[in-house]
Amino acid sequence: MDTWIGLMSGTSMDGIDAVLVSFQGKTVHIHDTYSIPYPKELHHRLVLASQNQATPDEIGELDTLTGLLFADATENLIRNSNVGHSSIRAIGSHGQTLRHQPSGPGRFSLQIGNPAIIAEKTGVTTVGDFRSRDMAAGGQGAPLVPAFHQHFFGSETEDRCILNLGGIANITWIPCEPGSPVTGFDTGPANALMDAWCQDQTGRSYDEDGRWAQEGIVDQALLTDMLSDAYFDRPAPKSTGKEKFNLEWVKTLVQRHGETRPEDVQRTLLQLSVITAVRQMPQSPTMTVYVCGGGTRNRLLMRELTQALSPIRVLDTADLGLDPQWVEPTAFAWLARQTMERKPGNLPDVTGAKGPRILGAIYPA
């Protein structure tokens, strides 16, 4: 049986997740996983580059450095799993997003982490640059995981909403009625703003279990101001990133409201993530929400989400057979398989593309 590797680094820019998987029908078998954090200096440089504070030379160098780190993560995964290189059909690498601008005359989405370096260092065929073909066909280039969600998480008995709480939150709506379209889009910020504010105010890279946020209270005036952002009322298809929702966005809004305790801001940002996801979520009497992504580790976030959705059931994707931490990297392993088998990887109803497209660029071993 062929095995596949998926590599993912999200908008939180905290590191690289690598997964070795095989697929059998609608079942995913995870053989091994590996995670590697970004070195502190590299992380700092990536953050600056994502804020347009990098020269072309610096971006080129970061493309190489992140490519080398993606290759190291892959090699460690292969070494630890004792799986021979020859049994791995391909690697699917999302890369590290620096900028995502899906509107305007010069639309683009920029991911670095040179796939050619991954293929060269590992000796395994690598598929990268998944977003640009969808964008060339008029799509947003994101989110791309809904096609994977549909294939593996669809049900004939219940409507399912897959909520990914990454740096940015996105939903995939999978109705059980045959022939009904699968839809999905980015609802707005999730961990990205909470992590950025926590780092800025406390020096900690994230708020473990939401403990710091729990010390605060929701600032209703600030929350109302945040919710007035036009993105939240924009119809799908839509996608966003840290270009829009970043630390400066938070600070600008906080300054309008005078003295606000930092922990109250953190609590308000958590509530923003909950409300924007819930308000934009389709509703049905047979609906179950399945959550994945790093936000599942934030107990306060999950508690508030469950309360906001009650009486709708809220579970995580482990109940569907896939650990919530490994859904996205597994999705890019599957997208690599789609590319290698010359099958589409996008859903036009999600991204807005003119039609299904085979995604990615192949770098042969």
Q: What pLDDT, on a 0 to 100 scale, did the predictor assign at position 259?
A: 86
Q: SS3 of 81, please?
A: helix
List b or e across 281-314, with b for residues whose CB sees 16 or more CB atoms inside 10 angstroms. beeeeebbbbbbbbbbbbebbbebbbebbeebeb
Q: What pLDDT, on a 0 to 100 scale, did the predictor assign at position 82?
A: 86
Is-contact 43 49, C-beta < 8 A?
A: no
pLDDT tens digits, the chain, 365 residues: what are they? 899 999 999 888 889 999 999 999 999 999 999 999 999 999 999 999 999 999 999 999 999 999 999 999 999 999 999 888 999 999 999 999 999 999 889 999 999 999 999 999 999 999 999 999 999 999 999 999 999 999 999 999 999 999 999 999 999 999 999 989 999 999 999 999 999 999 999 999 999 999 999 999 999 999 999 999 999 999 999 999 999 999 999 999 999 998 899 999 999 999 999 999 999 999 888 899 999 999 999 999 999 999 999 999 999 999 999 999 999 999 999 999 999 999 999 999 999 999 999 999 999 99
Q: SS3 of 353, please?
A: coil
What residues form the annotated binding site for ATP?
10-17
- What domains lie within the chain, and their CATH numbers? 3-141+326-363 (3.30.420.40), 146-320 (3.30.420.40)
Q: What pLDDT, on a 0 to 100 scale, did the predictor assign at position 119?
A: 98
Is-contact 129 112, C-beta < 8 A?
A: no
For residue 353, which of 103, 87, 134, 163 has the smallest C-alpha distance?
134
Q: If residue 318 lies in a helix (H) or strand (E), which one and from where to where?
A: none
What are 131-135's contacts with CB under 8 Å, separation 24+?
Answer: 131/359, 132/108, 133/346, 133/357, 133/358, 133/359, 133/360, 134/346, 134/351, 134/353, 134/357, 134/359, 135/102, 135/107, 135/108, 135/109, 135/353
CA–CA dist 225, 107 (Å, integer): 28
Spell out where 141-182 has E strands.
160-165, 168-174
What residues form the annotated binding site?
10-17
- The single-letter DSSP state of residue 152 is H
Is-contact 204 198, C-beta < 8 A?
A: yes
Q: What pLDDT, on a 0 to 100 scale, did the predictor assign at position 301?
A: 98
Is-contact 33 23, C-beta < 8 A?
A: no
CA–CA dist 135, 18 (Å, integer): 26
Q: What pLDDT, on a 0 to 100 scale, did the predictor assign at position 186?
A: 97
For residue 294, which of 206, 216, 232 has the smallest C-alpha distance?
206
